[in-house]
Structure 1
Amino acid sequence: MEVRQAKQEELEALIKIEQICFPPAEAATVEDMRKRFNVFQENFIVAVEEGKVVGFINGCVTDKPELPDALYHDTALHNPEGAYQTVFGLNVLPQYRKQGIAEQLVSHLIKLSKERGKTGIVLTCKEHLVHYYQKFGFKHLGVSASSHGGSKWNDMLLIFD
């Protein structure tokens, strides 16, 4: 398994994976995915198995330890010098799940964010994933104000030591 920054020629595969892994109301649109990739490609980390992209993690960088819905759609809010890496999505194709790939992607993003001098990582997740992110050191801050995709989300924050 190779975990690394995504390449331009992998964008279409990432778009397909996003559409497979999230319900239509929550998945990024093709247009949003393209805009995000063009603005912060360095924050798209892929897992590659035998030459095939099987998962990825991505998000922008912001100044505040929060993930308002506006960040999902307005790439102008991305601040590469910001203190907090966000996670918009952690995606692994269904047939590759339960093999530790998501864990490798999260761990890689944590390491990379530390190397880049970030203060921490912020994300939102559904209730059943709170415990999953807590094992990486994320703190559950409660129910999020987010209404992304019409779902209920939980705010999670990891501050680096």
Structure 2
Amino acid sequence: MISYSKATEDDLELLMQSRLEMLRAVNDLPEDYVFTDELMACSREYFKNANQTTILAIDEKVVGCATMCYIDMMPTFSHPTGKRAHLMNVFTNSQYRRQGIAFQMLGILINEAKEKGVTEISLDATELGRDLYKKHGFVESNECMVLIVNGTNC
């Protein structure tokens, strides 16, 4: 039976294993792919200190994860609290897909975001995940523009 829990700093190694598994799968990387020291260090730092919640799905081992990153911005008319969030790192091990695990993790995170006063949740979806997000009420958006700024250091 799958259990769901909020990750704590004590779960750092489980978080890292899950994150790297997700990155390998989403980016079609080989199992022996070596991630940069910067990505590893910044990921660890993020899980330790950032304003985020990660849900782990566990069935004797971690079989899924999902992270909600909280962002405080200047309040606007459409977002009077200034509290927004970005959903990331949503992943279910291939052997556990189509069992409602990601749906359950998202539900937990969305409910927490609502409790925190978040008025908008954004995400970057893969084709594989789009139907899942639509089931939770996410809609396509063309409102955003992005500038990619290359920098280093976490």
Structure 1 length-normalised TM:
0.67
Report sequence identity in percent.
28
C-alpha displacement of 1:6: 0.3
Residues in 2 aligned to 1:128 and 1:13: alpha-carbon distance in whole angstroms:
24
Specify the SS of the correspondent of 2:24: coil
Paired residue type of 2:58: V
Aligned length: 130
- Gaps of at least 5 residues in structure 2 are 28-37, 74-80, 149-154
* TM-score, length basis structure 2: 0.69
Alignment of 1:10-159 (within 5 A): 10-23=11-24, 29-40=39-50, 42-50=52-60, 52-63=61-72, 82-142=82-142
CA RMSD, 1 decimal? 2.9
Distance 1:25 1:144, change over 3 A: farther
Q: Which runs of 4+ in 1 moved over 3 A?
A: 23-26, 142-148
The answer (yes or no) to whether the contact 1:6–1:41 under 8 Å persists in 2 is no
Change (3 A) 1:3 1:30: same
In the aligned structure 2, how far is the partner of 1:82 from the partner of 1:54? Answer: 33
Give the whole-Å Cα distance in 1 for the aligned partners of 2:57 and 2:125: 21
Structure 1 residue 36, shift from structure 2 partner: 1.1
Which secondary structure state, in structure 1, belongs to the residue aligned with residue 140 of structure 2?
strand
Hey, what's the Cα distance between the residues in 2 that align with 1:129 and 1:25? 11
Asked if structure 1 preserves the Cα contact closer than 8 Å seen for 2:70 and 2:85, the reply is yes
Gaps of 5+ in 1: 65-80, 149-161
Q: Look at both structures and tell me which one has the larger radius of gyration over its CA atoms.
A: 2
CA contact (8 A) 1:48 1:54 kept: yes
- Mapped to 2, the partners of 1:43 and 1:15 lie a distance apart of 14
Match of 2:31 in 1: none
